[in-house]
Amino acid sequence: MLNKNKIALVALLAVSMVSDLKAGTWTNYAIGDVMLCFRKDGGANDLVVNAGPVTNLTTAVQNKRIAISQYTGSQLALVGTNGAIWSAFTGYDDSVSPVGDRGTLFVSKGRNFISRKTTAWSSFPHDSQMSVIQAMLDISIGAKVCIGYNGVNTPTAVIEPNDPDNSNPNYTSGQSYIGAMGVNLNFGDRFQGIPEKTALASFTTAGAVIRSDFYRINPNDTSDGLVTFLGYFEFNTNGAMTYVAYPTAPTVTTVAASAIAATGAQLNATVTTINTNTDSTAFYFKYGLTTSYGSTTTVSNIGVNSGSYGQPVSGLTGGATYHFQAVAYNQYGTNFGSDLTFTTTGGAPAIPEIKAIGRTNNITYVSFTTGNSGTYTLRGTNSLEIIRTNWPAISSIAGNGLTNTLQDTTSESGKFYIITAQ
C-alpha cells in the first residue's frame, strides 16, 4: 500500500504508463483478441498478454504450430514458470457481426494428462455467456491502465501486481487479472468451471510441456450450441508458449508384404506422426482371406517417430491369398491405409494357364501363369498317343505368381505342349 507521501509519484507513474501504452495493442484491444494470462498462488504479479485476434488461431491450417510471441521472458520471470497458472480466453459481445457470433466464447481447459484431450466445456444461453464475456472485458480494461512496471510492460503484455481484493492503488481504474477472475477464478462465478492450467511446482525438465485445450462455445439459444475443439496451447519449461491448430490423426500407407512364406509374412506400413511433443501414435494391421479381414496384429506404440514399420504374422495357410490393411491412430483420430494382398507359398500349386505360343528362329516360346508355390514344367511331344504326364520334360521354373515364358530349342515345329504343376 502506498502512503500519502507517494501520491504525487503515483500520479506521475500513471501519466507515464498511459503515455507508454497509448499506441499499444492494449489501448486498442479489440473484441475477439485472445487474452493469455499467467499468475501464481501467493505470487506478487500477474502477466496479461494480448495474443492477437482469435481468428489467427481459428483460420490456421491443420497441425500448424503458432508461436505466441507477444510477451517476453523478462515479463514471465516476474511471475515464474514453476507452479505458474495460466489460461487463454476471449469472446464476441453484441457489437460483432454476424449476429450469429454474438455471445460466443473461446476458453481454454487444462489437461490432466498431456496426451489425453479434455472433455469439452458445455454451451449456455446467450445472456449467460455474455456475462462471462463482460468479465473478460473487465480484465482487458485493467490491463490497459495498470502502472508500476514502465520498464517492463510492452504494447502487447503488461505486468499487474496481484490484487485479490481489488484494492491495489496501482490501478487507476478497472482491476487486475486475478481480481477480475474473482475468488473462485471462474470470471466472478459467471463461468461453469476454472479454465486455468497449473504447471508443476518443479517445472524444470528441459523441453517438458503441459497443455491446455482451446474450445469455441456457441451459445445454445442463438445457434445449435455447438462446442468445437480448436487446438491446444503448449507451455514449455523454457517459458515459450505455442498454439497447435486442429491437430489430426497420423497418416498411414500400407506397403507390400515381405518375407512371405508358407505360414507367415511380414506386413509393412509407413506412418507419419503429427507433432513432436508426446502426441503418441500407435498402429496395427488387419488381415484375413477377404476384405472383412477378421484378424488383427498386436498394437505397436511408436511414440512421436514417423517412419517405416512392420509386424510379423504367423499361422497362415500355404498357397492362400491374404488381404491386409494398416491402421494408425492417436488421441485425435484414426486413419486407414489401402487394402493390399499377398499369397503365401506352399500348398497345392495353382493351375497354370497357357497365355501364348510363338516360334522364332527354330525356337518355340510358351508363356503361362504360375502360382506362388510348386514347380511348373514345360512338356512337349509329337505323338498324342503318349500319356500327358509322360510327355518329355523340356524345362521348369518355380512358381512366383507371375506370367513366365519357357523355351523349346528343338528343330521340330509340329509339336504339342502342356504345362504341368506339382
pLDDT at 170: 65
pLDDT digit string, tens, across residues 147-157: 677 788 888 99
CA–CA distance, 307 with 83 (Å, rounded to integer): 37
Instruction: Give the domain ranges of the chain.
Output: 4-245, 251-343, 354-421
Cα dihedral 39, 40, 41, 44 sign: negative
pLDDT for residue 166 is more than 70: no
> CA 312, 315, 319, 320: dihedral to nearest 10 degrees?
-80
Q: How far is CA 227 from CA 215, 379, 408, in A?
A: 7, 73, 75
Q: pLDDT at residue 235 above 80?
A: yes
Q: Residue 397: its pLDDT value, please?
A: 92
**Which DSSP string corresponds to 341-354?**
EEE-S-SSPPPP-E
pLDDT at residue number 411: 74
Quote the CA–CA distance of 125 and 109 in Å, as a whole number.
Answer: 20
Tell me the residue type at 56.
N
Among 25-39, 72-86, 164-178, 391-405, the range with the most confident prediction by mean pLDDT is 72-86
> What is the reported pLDDT for 281?
93
Q: Which residue has the higher pLDDT, 124 or 384?
A: 124
CB 89 within 8 A of CB 101: no
pLDDT at position 278, please?
65
- Reduced to 3 states, what is the DSSP secondary structure of residue 139? helix
Q: Are 229 and 213 in contact (CB under 8 A)?
A: yes
Mean pLDDT of 166-178: 69
- Report pLDDT digits (tens) over 125-134: 999 999 999 9
Q: What is the mean pLDDT of the chain?
A: 87
Q: CATH says 251-343 is which class?
A: mainly beta
Q: Is the pLDDT of residue 178 over 60?
A: yes
Q: Which residues contact 172 (CB under 8 A, 6 or more apart)?
A: 14, 145, 147
pLDDT, position 47: 94
Q: Inform me whether the pLDDT recorded for 7 exceeds 60.
A: no
What pLDDT does residue 173 have? 56
Residue 103, pLDDT > 70, answer yes
Task: Produce one character per residue of 51-80: b if its CB has 16 or more CB atoms within 10 Å, e if not.
Answer: bbebeebbebeeeeebebebbeeebbebbb
**Of all helices (H) and strands (E), which one includes residue 242?**
strand 241-245
Mean pLDDT of 130-151: 84
Q: Are the CB atoms for 304 and 281 separated by under 8 Å?
A: yes
pLDDT at 1 over 50: no
Predicted pLDDT of residue 180: 85
